Chain A
Amino acid sequence: MMKPSKEQIAEVIYASIDGVNEMLAPDQWLEKSPQTVILKQGGGLDSLGFVNFVSLVEEKYFDRFGQRIILAQTNPPQNGRHPFQSVESLIEYLDSLSRL
């Protein structure tokens, strides 16, 4: 199985952001950018939005790369950062998973 590139991982995350944005009012839409904050503390998703986002990333990651990942219970620090702190940190985390 080919290891996905960071760009490909970013595409999966952005497609998931599109899915979540469909359920948000326009003024709450997440931007498709590495700097976008995902978790609520920084102005990102609320708990239900987060559930939807995680489910979408898991599903789309499998659809795209054929590899099942579990993010629902993710809580490890990633270089001192939570994987869901931002889009960038999530890309790094998924990239590290794909190297395992």
Chain B
Amino acid sequence: MNQLVQRGLLISDFNLENLSAYLANNREPPLFRCEVAPYGQVTQTLLDSTLPCWNPPPDFTLVWTRPEAVLAGFREALNGDTVEEANLEREVDNYAETIARAGKLSKTIFVPTWNVPTMHLGHGLLDLAPGLGVSRLLMQANLRLLRSLSGIPNVVPLHASRWIEMVGEKAFNERLWHSGKIPFANEVFKIAAREIKAAIRGIGGGSRKLIVLDLDDTLWGGIVGEVGWQNLVLGGHDPMGEAFVEFQRGLKTLTKRGMLLAIASKNEETVALQAIDHHPEMVLRRGDFAAWRINWDDKARNIVELTKGLNLVLDSVVFIDDNQVERDRVRQALPEVLVPEWPVDARLYLRALCELDCFQQPLVTKEDRRRAEMYSQERQRTDSKAQASSVEEWLRTLQITVKVELLGASNIGRATQLLNKTNQMNLSTRRLTEQEFGEWASQPGHRSWVFSVSDRFGDSGLTGILSMAADGDNARIVDFVLSCRVMGRKVEETMLHWAVKWAQSSRLARVVADYSSTPKNAPCHAFFQGSGFDAGKDGRFTWDTVNPYALPDVIKLITPPEDAFDVVSGKPSAAEAGVPLVRD
């Protein structure tokens, strides 16, 4: 993640200067500079796109309101009046519509959920009564707001109620409210600032992707090499054993959101794997781990190898170990790796995991849910590679199929996630919101395709993006993005084949790719250097479209219907250009 200062706009009916200060003074990346819109003018600010605060568009906007300030019905309920729930829902819809309209003015809009002070006269037996209960109406309003905002890609609700709960009884501060129109204690704003930062990191692809775990006294209690797997503290009627099981469940949940788990443990591999395979209370089994290094080597070295083997980079790694010496060693050797302090008491492990704010992501795709399984398949591929006599032979045995589709409603969510998360095989490292990506791809002369890869071991899912722009006589590659999971399997060449084919069909003279260097995308440069494209000055690679770019013979390419292939405006159609729809 770059260190550019991002600009935030804070809109509220109460004083958000303290939050602005916490956001600005927090030195964790990304750095923020925030502007607070005149308070109490929420609707005016959201509706008036000519206001200076919208120009240039903020990197993010926070719209945080009190329900009684924006919903007349809720104000009435706080005053003890009965409220028609349908009327309240209409008010919520109108409010959501106002936010949706502002969606085009900012890259991302955060909308914290509504809360009311814990001390108000509506609590008690009537609090959940229909039409009258303040807490009931609050729940309904929040749920309606979430429903109304869902489907707007760059509007992200935030669960402010959790911030309030975390702070507890001091979350609402009457002193600050009456003196400065600040309803919440500063502890609430500190948590909000941390979560907004984490959310921006997640949206920008800066979340951590791999958790490397120790085993003894981290995933289970005891030293497996000494006590044997049958005698480990894990599950059973034991407070510590239950705590280890809960911690494993927490890790398992993260795997379903796309996080990868790996093991770096000083143990005998066979002994440790026996415990993972056979202990009846293990939640995490062998298939849940993308890779492991179980040996007596330096853990820092093992982490480097694990990361490299998974085609990841060190700043995507979190290392969890109960041993202070190991944590210090990894911190010192690998400063990019996040090594959280870890509690001595195993009953606090799950809490420590929950407090890590480095796993945020704006959506969970089917690829995320299957990631651990995909890496398990990858291990099988690697094993098969060791048995093959050459890389070519190995690739042929994989029976790779690449399916290409035009960017569309069904795939833009995953494509945007891939665009923002991919660092290594990424030509321009362009970061866009879903809305920006969709708008870019729908402009005349612009095309974006997504590539899904599968082979005999399994389906790697949507793992590639190619975006092209007709630029004079050039077909310019704007995005050339490929997940590290499928790098080196001729998918890169397949994408170039497609790029050249589209340029030929559109009667463009050449395909150009302008490489933009980042600290992480050297693999992309190396690929283009060996791609056959002419390497020019300033990182430009060129292919003359007089020459076809061969489809690798180890790839079966499934292409889209001809209207999805499409060509630039005013040029012959794909069918006219003789582009086959399916080829082997």
Instruction: Please report A residues at the B interface, Cβ cutoff 8 Å.
Output: 19, 22-25, 48, 51-52, 54-55, 58-59, 72
A-B contacts, 30 of them at CB < 8 A, read: A22-B21, A22-B22, A22-B25, A22-B186, A22-B190, A23-B18, A23-B21, A23-B22, A23-B25, A23-B186, A24-B25, A25-B24, A25-B25, A48-B15, A48-B17, A48-B18, A51-B180, A52-B18, A52-B176, A52-B180, A52-B186, A54-B175, A54-B179, A55-B173, A55-B176, A55-B179, A58-B175, A72-B175, A72-B178, A72-B179
Q: Mark B14-40, 1 if CB is under 8 A from A, else 0.
A: 010110011011000000000000000
How near does chain A come to B36, taking the closest CB pair, in angstroms?
11
Given A22-B25, A25-B25, does the pair A55, B18 have CB atoms closer than 8 Å? no
Looking at A19, A25, A54, A55, which has the most chain B CB atoms within 10 Å of its CB?
A55
How near does chain B come to A63, taking the closest CB pair, in angstroms?
10
Cα distance A23–B175 in the bound complex, in angstroms: 17
Q: Pick the contact of A48 from B24, B170, B180 — CB < 8 Å?
A: B180
B25 touches A51 (CB 8 A): no
Which of chain A's residues has its CB closest to B174's CB?
A55
In addition to A23-B21, A23-B186, A72-B179, 9 A-B residue pairs with Cβ atoms within 8 Å of each other are: A22-B186, A25-B24, A48-B17, A48-B18, A48-B180, A54-B179, A55-B173, A55-B175, A59-B170
For A55, list chain B residues within 8 Å (CB).
173, 175-176, 179
B186 touches A19 (CB 8 A): yes
For B21, list chain A residues within 8 Å (CB).
22-24
Which of chain B's residues has its CB closest to A56's CB?
B186
Instruction: Please report B residues at the A interface, Cβ cutoff 8 Å.
Output: 15, 17-18, 21-22, 24-25, 170, 173, 175-176, 178-180, 182, 186, 190
For B24, list chain A residues within 8 Å (CB).
25
A59 touches B25 (CB 8 A): no
For A58, list chain B residues within 8 Å (CB).
175
How near does chain A come to B22, taking the closest CB pair, in angstroms?
6
For B18, list chain A residues within 8 Å (CB).
23, 48, 52
For A24, list chain B residues within 8 Å (CB).
21, 25
Cα distance A52–B15 in the bound complex, in angstroms: 12
For A22, list chain B residues within 8 Å (CB).
21-22, 25, 186, 190
Which of chain B's residues has its CB closest to A46's CB?
B17
How near does chain B come to A62, taking the closest CB pair, in angstroms?
11
A59 touches B175 (CB 8 A): yes
Cα distance A79–B402 in the bound complex, in angstroms: 84
How near does chain B come to A19, taking the closest CB pair, in angstroms?
7
Cα distance A44–B118 in the bound complex, in angstroms: 34
Which of chain A's residues has its CB closest to B182's CB?
A51
Which of chain B's residues has its CB closest to A73's CB?
B179
Which of chain A's residues has its CB closest to B26's CB?
A22
Cα distance A20–B59 in the bound complex, in angstroms: 27
Given A19-B186, A23-B186, does the pair A51, B22 have CB atoms closer than 8 Å? no
Which of chain A's residues has its CB closest to B17's CB?
A48
Which of chain B's residues has its CB closest to A72's CB?
B179
Which of chain A's residues has its CB closest to B20's CB?
A23
Given A23-B18, A23-B21, A23-B25, does the pair A51, B186 have CB atoms closer than 8 Å? no
For B186, list chain A residues within 8 Å (CB).
19, 22-23, 52
- State the 3 A-B residue pairs at the shortest beta-carbon distance, nearest first: A23-B21, A51-B180, A55-B175
How near does chain A come to B10, taking the closest CB pair, in angstroms?
14
How near does chain B come to A76, taking the closest CB pair, in angstroms?
18
For A19, list chain B residues within 8 Å (CB).
186
How near does chain A come to B328, taking the closest CB pair, in angstroms?
28
How near does chain A come to B224, taking the closest CB pair, in angstroms?
44
How near does chain B come to A100, taking the closest CB pair, in angstroms?
21
How near does chain A come to B294, taking the closest CB pair, in angstroms?
43
How near does chain A come to B232, taking the closest CB pair, in angstroms?
43
Which of chain B's residues has its CB closest to A48's CB?
B17
How near does chain A come to B16, taking the closest CB pair, in angstroms?
11
Which of chain A's residues has its CB closest to B22's CB?
A23
Cα distance A22–B186 in the bound complex, in angstroms: 10
For B173, list chain A residues within 8 Å (CB).
55
For A52, list chain B residues within 8 Å (CB).
18, 176, 180, 186
How near does chain B come to A39, taking the closest CB pair, in angstroms?
15
Cα distance A51–B24 in the bound complex, in angstroms: 19
Cα distance A15–B287 in the bound complex, in angstroms: 50
Cα distance A24–B179 in the bound complex, in angstroms: 19
Cα distance A54–B179 in the bound complex, in angstroms: 10
Looking at A19, A48, A72, which has the most chain B CB atoms within 10 Å of its CB?
A48
How near does chain B come to A94, taking the closest CB pair, in angstroms?
16
For B176, list chain A residues within 8 Å (CB).
51-52, 55
For B178, list chain A residues within 8 Å (CB).
72
Cα distance A23–B24 in the bound complex, in angstroms: 8
Which of chain B's residues has its CB closest to A59's CB?
B175
Which of chain A's residues has its CB closest to B175's CB?
A55
For B182, list chain A residues within 8 Å (CB).
51
Cα distance A72–B176 in the bound complex, in angstroms: 10
